[in-house]
Amino acid sequence: MSRAGRGSARAALAVAAVLGIALVVVIALRTPWQLLPEPPGGFTPVDPTAGLSAEQVDRAESFAAALRPASLTSLVLGLAVSAVLGLTPLGARLVTAVARPLGGRRAAQILLGVVALVVVGRLVTLPIGAYAEVVRHRYGLSTRTWGLWVRDVAVSAAISAVITALALTAVLWLIRRAPRMWWAWAAGTAAGFVVVASFLYPLVIEPAFNRIEPLPAGELRTDLLALADRSGVPVQDVLVSDASRRTTALNAYVSGFGGTRRIVVYDTVLDQLPDEEIESIVAHELGHVVNGDVLTGTLTGALGAAAATAMFGWLLSWTPLLRRAGAEAPGDPRALPLILFLLAAGGLVGTPVQNLVSRQIEARADLHALDLTGDAEAFVSMQRRLASTNLSDPDPPVAWQWFFGSHPTAAQRVAFAEDWSRDRG
């Protein structure tokens, strides 16, 4: 490597380190680590059943026992295939092979190569995905027809292939235009991309899967908008998604920010829950709005994407790694499988960090729901209903929860409501 090349690689590593430290500082300062003061005599001990009946706990546990090995296998297999394609010349051969019928031009290698790599990645885990769907059907959680399942898998693979192909085309173009400082441009672009994607998600991705309509006028709608009013936050609308086409699960979420911000409630929630529990769910979602969680998530995501891109800039300057992947330079389309492997590995490392923060943010939204409604009883019965309907293990293994848990466990949320009642008298 030339002296200038070595200098640029060192700069990429330094920038990655600085952005990484900034990310840790932002997370440490912005995450609500403690939400309630510790009461005299300590916090309420967590009841592992969350107050569910033995039968409900058994059912959730046997569901988890059937699904967890499949989820883990899918994760490991996906990463292993990505590693084989990215760390041996196999992926590079695939990229050249798919572009050959079109004359093997660079643009064809990039576009068709990325599509082929995404499709191969999806195909190897497809049987496990189908098995998981069989399990969800057997337990009555999935209501999807197989036709709809195939459509969902195809649409999500197509969206992922198109977005990845566009993003990597831009990256390879940058590498050609700015061979030494491309990673700096790419880091800025990746950060901007996270922000744009967060805006576009409710407008483009959501409608590709669900029909979403305003909650019809009536007492419930009036009550929910009054809750939003009392929270002091402008909400564009309360919407209902036709989730029952796919699942019996109960859920709600908030997406978008500014003028696109909306609270979306599954139609299953409206069908099955009494009004005070629906209000508790919506009050939790309002908590996310009040605390600006979508914005915080977007900004930390953008910082993380920039840090990871600078890190990739350093890794891709390392000639032995490129050679191993069968590529000659970072801008070579044959480096694409390696880049996709680095993305997958980065995602794996990022998951537990993201979930660590997410659990605290979710607990803060729970606190808002309790403060806003003042109704711990409805909150607790809603948590139990969610756990038993969604078949979520109220007290999963610690390591599982640490890695995959985006929310506190049902058992923890019930204990939290108890602490809240004691604290607020």
Nearer to Zn ion, 284 or 334 (CB): 284
Residue with tokens 């995450």: 31
Nearer to Zn ion, 136 or 413 (CB): 413
Site for Zn ion in 331-350 (CB under 5 A): none
Shortest Å distance, C-beta 284 to Zn ion: 6
CA dihedral 124, 148, 400, 128 (to 10 degrees): -30
Part of the chain binding Zn ion (CB under 5 A), chosen from 228-236, 356-364, 392-400, 408-416: 356-364
Start-to-end Cα distance in the chain: 68
Shortest Å distance, C-beta 407 to Zn ion: 7
Shortest Å distance, C-beta 275 to Zn ion: 20
Part of the chain binding Zn ion (CB under 5 A), chosen from 57-65, 275-283, 332-340, 355-363: 355-363
Count Cβ atoms within 10 A of the Cβ of residue 162 and give its class: 0-12 exposed, 13-18 middle, 19 or more buried.
Answer: middle
Part of the chain binding Zn ion (CB under 5 A), chosen from 65-73, 243-251, 315-323, 361-369: 361-369
Nearer to Zn ion, 246 or 288 (CB): 288
SS3 of residue 247 by DSSP: strand
Q: Which of 378, 366, 382 is nearest to 419 (CA)?
A: 366
Q: Which of 303, 298, 302 is nearest to 22 (CA)?
A: 303
The CA-atom distances, in angstroms, between 299 and each of 40, 90, 260, 305 are 37, 36, 17, 10
Q: Give the residue, chosen from 184, 365, 376, 411, that forms a contact with Zn ion under the rule CB under 5 A.
A: 365
Radius of gyration of the chain (CA): 24
Shortest Å distance, C-beta 251 to Zn ion: 9
Q: Please answer whether residues 152 and 209 qualify as being in contact, where contact means their C-beta atoms are separated by less than 8 angstroms.
A: yes
Shortest Å distance, C-beta 291 to Zn ion: 10
Nearer to Zn ion, 125 or 255 (CB): 255
Of the residues 277, 279, 285, 418, which is catalytic? 285
Nearer to Zn ion, 325 or 415 (CB): 415
Part of the chain binding Zn ion (CB under 5 A), chosen from 238-246, 301-309, 362-370, 379-387: 362-370
Part of the chain binding Zn ion (CB under 5 A), chosen from 135-143, 166-174, 201-209, 354-362: 354-362
Residue 264 backbone dihedrals phi, psi, to 5 degrees: -115, 125
Shortest Å distance, C-beta 288 to Zn ion: 6
Site for Zn ion in 37-76 (CB under 5 A): none
102 CA to centre of own chain: 36
**Cα gap 298→30, rounded to integer Å:** 13
Q: Which of 290, 155, 320 is nearest to 228 (CA)?
A: 290
Nearer to Zn ion, 279 or 362 (CB): 362
The number of residues that bind Zn ion (CB under 5 A) is 2
285 classed as catalytic: yes
327 HSE (CA, 13 A, CB side):
27
Shortest Å distance, C-beta 14 to Zn ion: 37
Site for Zn ion in 172-211 (CB under 5 A): none
**Cα gap 59→283, rounded to integer Å:** 29
Nearer to Zn ion, 131 or 253 (CB): 253
Asked if 294 is part of the footprint of Zn ion (rule: CB under 5 A), the reply reads: no
The CA-atom distances, in angstroms, between 65 and each of 48, 246, 396, 419 are 17, 22, 10, 31
Residue 142: DSSP 8-state: B
**Cα gap 26→415, rounded to integer Å:** 29
Catalytic residues: 285
Name the residues that contact Zn ion, by CB under 5 A: 362, 365
